[in-house]
Amino acid sequence: MNIFTAIDTGNLTLATYTIITLAAFLSGTVTAIAANYKSRASKSFVAALILLPVIVETIVLMVNGNIGTGIAISGAFSLVRFRSAPGKAKDMVLIFLAMTCGVACAAGYIGVAFLFALIVSFALVIIMSIPLKEERTQQLRITIPESLNFTDVFDEVFEKYLSYHEMVSVKTTNMGSLFRLVYRVEMKRGTDMKQFMDELRIRNGNLEISLMENTEGNDEL
């Protein structure tokens, strides 16, 4: 079947609407599966991705042939601006993917919609599988007394245990009596984590030290 041959939506019947809606639902399901690759999407976000194509295609079908068509589509896409949390770039791509599939289904191009969902989702999975240097780094936070010169006090320890380190920020805390240093670091293979932390504690006077994964923000849509 030629996927660029559109289903006739001029005279909408129950069978035609059912086929289009199922195609939109399947496209949304593919998008939701991609959303959960190497991340844990919330149940509400998964439900939104599955149902958005169905909602969009129904809206477009209801105004098809009228001057309100363009306004309805623009208004639907502008809803992305009013999300309750900032979210991630990946989430934005998935939302636009789901809504585009809905528009394609409403136009009768159900083959294009489903193939488009598969191609973009597969591309997203491949891109997310490519390891980047940023993903191998961790965030190291060290608190030191104000009397300690932090310029090179940890260089010897970093050289011993880290393959990469970069100072991200420095700020004062506790009424200026302490400094809080933030580093982006990458551990050497086989590094003894406890020994690394112990040597840092010796130099910072046993004040607070934390080492955590350098992950993306946790805000959800």
Taking only the tens place, the pLDDT of each residue in 121-168 is: 999 888 888 766 555 688 999 999 998 888 888 999 999 999 989 999
Judgement on whether residues 109 and 86 belong to the same structural domain of the protein: yes
Judgement on whether residues 25 and 114 belong to the same structural domain of the protein: yes
Dist. CA 12–CA 202, nearest whole Å: 76
Judgement on whether residues 21 and 67 belong to the same structural domain of the protein: yes
pLDDT in tens, 13-31: 888 888 889 999 999 999 9
What value does the mean pLDDT take over residues 182-197?
90
- The residue from 97, 129, 161 where one domain ends is 129
How distant, in Å, are the alpha carbons of 4, 43, 44, 73, 87 from that of 55?
22, 18, 15, 11, 22
Half-sphere exposure of 78 (CA within 13 A, CB side): 6
Q: Model-level pTM?
A: 0.62
Note the pLDDT of residue 217: 47
Determine the residue type at 138: Q
Dist. CA 192–CA 77, nearest whole Å: 50
Judgement on whether residues 110 and 36 belong to the same structural domain of the protein: yes
Note the pLDDT of residue 6: 72
Domain carrying residue 70: 14-129
Share of the chain above pLDDT 70, in %: 80
Structural domain includes residue 107: yes
Judgement on whether residues 93 and 114 belong to the same structural domain of the protein: yes
Note the pLDDT of residue 67: 44
